[in-house]
Amino acid sequence: MSFKKIELPLEVVILLIAGMALVITGLLLHAVWSGTVQFYENGFHGLLLVIFALQTMMMGKTPFGDMPRSPVLTAVGAFIAATGIAACFIPVFDRFPRLLLIICFGPGGLALLLQMLLASDKARTWIRYGGVFRHLTIACTSVYCLSILLSVLLSMDARIPVPAVAAVVFVDGIMVFYLAGVLRKIYRTYPGSEKSQENAGLSANETMILLTGIFMIVLGLMLIPVSLGLLPFSASAQVGLLMVIFAVQMLAAGSTPVGPFARSWPLILSGLVFAGLGIISCVIPGILVKPLTILVGILNVLGGVIALAGICLSRRKEAGSGRPSHPLLARLFMLQLTTNILTVMFGVSMFIPGLVHGSIVGMILAANGGAILYLLRTLVLLGRMQTAAA
């Protein structure tokens, strides 16, 4: 297998994860219908909301069309992400996430379909160009129409037979894969066609840091009432969603829990495996919770220890140079040190549940999320300083 670097556009990455979520869920729903396994509806809904949030924050692609990236749009995406994460964790938090998903799929799908049909630079131009752009027209039309149909099915709840729902979800996933393949071919053939808004907002890495911070804060805050017996909790969706976040980081930027690597085929396949396992754990409760808990614990401990070793070595070299450190860099060092120590503690807690009371674990995780968000703010400030000095 080749270790050559693979170019995979961010939009294609998100569509691949979305397609996998739909196809895997569509297949598993047949097992649910036969009574072989249970289905965790909230995990599926929450996962889809997190994917919508990633599209919004990373690319400015909202369920209602493309918008300029801005702090307001990032805040909207963060809210959708927090709602999706909470829906995954708490089984009784279901009405608002379902309503939000109906809006994203229904009115959102209709708005995208109308924009494609009416805009002068979309369907009419694509059909005139022919070739792969005709495939783009077919793929987009299919995905938008199926999204509207999914919205109808969600609004009707249990009144539709499970096999019919499974078929629609599966076909929608196949068409999302089709769209991802068409877009990858277009971006490879016409490199300038991929719109980049990197300078208009957070980068892909920074967005994933934001999502991780939100994940930790929501998880920490939820664990406090859960540990007191006030709320139910889905451990399988927790580790499943974390695996999906790992997968997006790997596919989008080659960033793994144990360090960065070039995006080669082995890394991409590993990311897809992570995504598949995470999706299954989100929608089927209990089936993979033990092995994934151990895997997540190992990855967090290893990643934290490796990062701490790198931070200390870097600090020692800087001290040996005799040059004074900029106050912002000193703050960055302390933040990285803190977040990685907390990451190791989180990994250890996955191995030894009950070692510390759940409310204390919750406070530690919430503090870790706050530190991650503060680290993100510091990284953004450093980036602006470097841009101004260039």
Domain presence at residue 2: no
Domain presence at residue 356: yes
Last residue of a domain, one of 288, 303, 324: 288
Residues 226, 241: Cα–Cα separation, whole Å: 18
Residues 43, 90: Cα–Cα separation, whole Å: 9
Question: Are residues 324 and 241 part of one domain?
Answer: no
pLDDT at 199 (0 to 100):
46
Backbone angles phi, psi at 271, to 5 degrees: -60, -40
pLDDT at 197 (0 to 100):
47
Last residue of a domain, one of 259, 288, 317: 288
Domain presence at residue 72: yes
Last residue of a domain, one of 288, 310, 328: 288
CB 65 within 8 Å of CB 71: no
Question: Are residues 277 and 375 part of one domain?
Answer: no
Question: Are residues 375 and 243 part of one domain?
Answer: no
Domain presence at residue 208: yes
The DSSP symbol for 36 reads S
Question: Are residues 235 and 300 part of one domain?
Answer: no
By DSSP bridging, strand 65-66 and strand 61-62 are: antiparallel
Question: Are residues 353 and 239 part of one domain?
Answer: no
Residue 137: which domain range?
Answer: 10-288
CB 102 within 8 Å of CB 148: no
Question: Are residues 158 and 93 part of one domain?
Answer: yes
Question: Are residues 270 and 312 part of one domain?
Answer: no
Question: Are residues 316 and 340 part of one domain?
Answer: yes
pLDDT at 198 (0 to 100):
47
Residue 35 bridge partners (DSSP) = none
Question: Are residues 183 and 133 part of one domain?
Answer: yes
Number of domains in the chain: 2
Domain presence at residue 3: no
Residues 360, 89: Cα–Cα separation, whole Å: 18
Inter-axis angle of helices 289-321 and 235-253, nearest 10: 50
CB 364 within 8 Å of CB 346: yes
Domain presence at residue 343: yes
Question: Are residues 352 and 267 part of one domain?
Answer: no
Question: Are residues 253 and 318 part of one domain?
Answer: no
Domain presence at residue 246: yes
Domain presence at residue 92: yes
CB 165 within 8 Å of CB 153: yes
Average pLDDT, consecutive stretches of 10 residues, N- to C-terminus, the chain (390 residues) = 72 93 92 84 94 91 87 91 94 91 94 92 88 93 95 80 87 95 90 56 82 91 88 90 91 83 86 94 90 89 87 71 63 81 82 71 85 86 71
Question: Are residues 323 and 305 part of one domain?
Answer: yes
pLDDT at 318 (0 to 100):
63
Residue 255 bridge partners (DSSP) = 260
